[in-house]
Amino acid sequence: MNGGVTKRSVGLVAAALAVLVVLPFVVGTYFTMFVTEIMIMGIFALSFNLLFGYTGLLSFGHAAFFGVGGYMAAFLLIHGFPSLPLALLLGTLAAGLAAVVVGYFSVRLDEIYFAILTLGFGMMFYTLVHQWRSVTGGSDGLTGLVLPPLGIGGFQVDVSSPRAFYFIVAFFFIVTILVLSRIVASSFGLILMSIRENKERTAFTGINIRAYRLASFVVSGLFAGIAGGLFAVFDRMASPSMLHWTASAEPVLMTVLGGAHVFFGPVVGAVLFFVIEHVITQFTDIWMIFLGGILIPLVIFFPEGVLGTLLARRRGKRFKGSGGDKA
């Protein structure tokens, strides 16, 4: 999935970077914001897939960390916190802390029990922000974020314009890709994948399964927190719906759409998710039925997702039919 650095892949990366940089100058504000949101959800889905695709743990409560990151950043920014990067950083750390606590308990369980327990923890966080009105604003959420200007090398940059914020998100998007792709290609990442493939055998080699799973859980939570902080700034608000279990389902859907066993699968899934939503909501608000209608045949016939299936076809491998998946 993350093969050697070939000329081809360098060219691809350069082209992708060039498109990312040029894009907001070519397209209008609406499309700039559209791509901004895709990148934020791309970070979220990538973070989720470290757990799902690489460690083999299906979390159905990942929105908790997305929400904690978002609420922390939003809380600081509505109370006049002077630095945007620091607010995002603190949001990320808060999400990481939440992930330490939730992960400590959750990684003891497997499969469906893990999914249900993370769902339960996620909903605990949801009820917390929903009920703790004095701090979180209850069901109204936190609104009216003030964005302090960003100081870069002596310049004061106003980040409230869609284009400036686009570049901030693009920066975090690239950092996320660099860090996570390093992680999954490292020996740490290999151990995660071996845990996914066979927990017992990996344990026999002397590896502490729980510790590795917890590490994966926390890293995943940290990046979900970054995405949440960016999302709150993007929306200028943090609302309880960020933490609801249906929000946890979104990175799951994106990852399955794109493919859980290829690194960029979740990103491709995020793009597809938003394009499908964008196209269908032109005609009707009821678009989840189409998403479901796409998800069902995808799970049955293409369990490796769109990108995963395309790459497998290109490599000339026969697509593994039913029963070949171990996610």
Partner 1 sequence: MSLFFMNFLNGVSLGMLLFLISIGLTIIFGVLGVLNFAHGSLYMLGAYFCFQFVSLSHNFLGALLLAPLFVALIGGVIEGTLLRPVYGRDVSFQLLLTFGVLLVLDDAVRLIWGSGYHIVDPPAFLGGVVRLAGFTYPVYSLFILFIGPMIGLGLWGFFRLTLWGKKIRAASMDREMAAGIGIDVNRLFTGVFMFGAWLAGVGGTLAAPLRAIGPSMGEKIIIESFIVVVIGGLGSFPGAFLGAMILGLINAYGAQYLPKATMALPYILLAIILLTKPRGLLSKES
Which residue ranges make up the site for partner 1 (CB under 8 A)?
58, 105, 108-109, 111-113, 115-117, 119-121, 123-124, 127-128, 130-131, 245-246, 249, 252, 256, 286-289, 291-293, 295-296, 299-300, 303, 322-323, 325-327
Please, which residue, 229 or 265, has the CB nearer to partner 1? 265
Q: Which residues of 78-95 are buried (b: 16+ CB within 10 A; e: fewer)?
A: beebeebeebbbbbbebb
Q: How far apart are CA 173 and CA 170, in angstroms?
A: 5
Query: Residue 109 Cβ, how far from partner 1 at the closest point, in Å?
Result: 6
Please, which residue, 131 or 156, has the CB nearer to partner 1? 131
Query: Residue 126 Cβ, how far from partner 1 at the closest point, in Å?
Result: 9
Please choose, from the candidates 19, 238, 217, the residue with its C-alpha nearest in 3D space to the C-alpha of residue 141. Answer: 238
Contact of 227 with 113, CB cutoff 8 Å: no
Please, which residue, 164 or 295, has the CB nearer to partner 1? 295
Please, which residue, 53 or 229, has the CB nearer to partner 1? 53
The alpha carbon of residue 148 and the mean position of all alpha carbons in its chain are separated, in whole angstroms, by 25
Query: Residue 301 Cβ, how far from partner 1 at the closest point, in Å?
Result: 8
Q: Which residues of 106-143 are buried (b: 16+ CB within 10 A; e: fewer)?
A: bbeeeeeebbebbbebbbebbebbbeeeeebbeeebbe
- DSSP, res 56: -
Structural Rg of the chain based on CA atoms: 20
Query: Residue 112 Cβ, how far from partner 1 at the closest point, in Å?
Result: 5
Q: How much of the chain is in helix, strand and coil states, percent to nearest 5?
A: 75, 5, 25
Please, which residue, 97 or 327, has the CB nearer to partner 1? 327
Query: Residue 219 Cβ, how far from partner 1 at the closest point, in Å?
Result: 20
Query: Residue 255 Cβ, how far from partner 1 at the closest point, in Å?
Result: 10
Please, which residue, 185 or 327, has the CB nearer to partner 1? 327
Please, which residue, 225 or 244, has the CB nearer to partner 1? 244
Q: Which two tokens stand for residue 56?
A: 């083999």
Please, which residue, 147 or 327, has the CB nearer to partner 1? 327
Q: How far apart are CA 121 and CA 119, in angstroms?
A: 6
Query: Residue 315 Cβ, how far from partner 1 at the closest point, in Å?
Result: 23
Alpha carbon separation from 294 to 58, 266, 276, 280 (Å, rounded):
20, 16, 10, 13
Q: How far apart are CA 69 and CA 161, in angstroms?
A: 22
Query: Residue 89 Cβ, how far from partner 1 at the closest point, in Å?
Result: 29
